[in-house]
Structure 1
Amino acid sequence: MAELGWLGVVRHGQSVGNVRAEEAERGGLEVIDLAERDADVPLTELGREQAEAVARWIGQLPAGERPEFAVVSPYLRTRQTAALALGGTGIPVRYDERLRDRELGVLDLLTQRGVAARFPQEAARRARLGKLYHRPPGGESWSDVLLRLRSLMRDVRADHPGGRVLLVGHEAIVLLVRYLVEGLDEEALLSLSRATALANCSVSSWVNEGGILRPELFNAVEHLEREETTQQEAVGAD
């Protein structure tokens, strides 16, 4: 199967869930105060400004270096990010549920303190198994997310051989796409997760060199810093 010419991934802009999760963690609360279901969490005003900064970045790229097609998570915060970043560019957009955020099951809306207090056995199991393989009841492990990402990437490569494709997704999606594209192992993935504060509306990308996608950018935020719209990674909810 032919490889893509270029692959990019943008994390969505700052969401209401990011802000509420950070507030809950900082306040030592057990539960994140969020009324919407995960799929319906919108962007904040800062998140909208970040997505507009992505639009300006795309607009400044040479014509031959711009994305030709975009695949977007169907969650509201990613759809809003894509609409602001890609609106008016003429880039075709497809929504695909395989790019949705990781499902947390019974741990949904709980902070680290909340998980430890309400599901201590699950907290211990998560610590023992690690992020890649721990599946909370009713939720997904990172390995589960990888299964759907492998399927998505197989389709994208088949549909756009040699093409330039942009994904718009979530924090875990960015990390796991890098895991797949670069052939990382579990240790490298977990080390990357611990060491990286993945910024909202950051850009990660890979370019085809000799038929293989090679790293180009990771967690790049220069386009946000120029617009003074960057912000530290929110804790908890993506």
Structure 2
Amino acid sequence: MRRPLSLLVVASLALLGAVVAGPPAAVAADPLTGRLVDSTGTHPPVVGATVRLRKVKGGEPGAVVDTDTTNGKGRFELDAGPGADDEYYVQVVPGTFQGGFVGDGYVQPTAAGAMTYGPHAAIGKILANPAYIQGRVVNSVTKRPVRGVRVTARSANDLGQVEGADTTDRQGRFQINRLECEDDCYLRVNGAPRGYEVGYRACDAGVVPAWGDACASPIGRVGRVFLDKG
């Protein structure tokens, strides 16, 4: 019995479509995810930080598998590739915030304090320490900004070691970047060139002449520093 020509055409097209289309594409695996936030204040998101997924080699961080940049909400996604079933380190590259390796909800300074994660882990919120101290130097009486004042951050472990420095602008603002200290940075304020005192930031945000009477400055934003005329 002869088949209608139309049925033969339909069958041929269907067969051709199956050959061209091939097998269905593999579904991408769920990536490893997390959200990086500031450890200080109200924990705002850390935006624009570089995060890497690294293999574990001999118990240490190995080759980089994938890299992402945190978005406006601090979120990142790292893809270990199809069929991955190993454990990985998650590394945060130093920038405006201190770098290190993720573990126990924090960016740890070294891999020794970090954890390893499966390729599809949802880590959740990760606290990162700022790598800066930001503040504003003002006249203690008038509360007006004082420009041209040199502010240095010094380690409590070695007061001769300067961790970083900046000079106040017209608004009295300073920001000392690339710091690695957490709660052991002391601010030294040199107001002499502008007719002001020289000393260390105190617990009440004033300035004292001796380091022994000073307070360590927290990382992040310290607010105003009140400077007396010399």
Q: TM class by shorter-chain length?
A: under 0.3
TM-score, L = length of structure 1:
0.19
Determine which structure has the larger strand proportion and give its number: 2
Determine which structure has the larger helix proportion and give its number: 1
Q: Larger C-alpha radius of gyration, 1 or 2?
A: 2
Greater relative contact order (Cα 8 A, min sep 6): structure 1 or 2? 1
TM-score, L = length of structure 2:
0.19
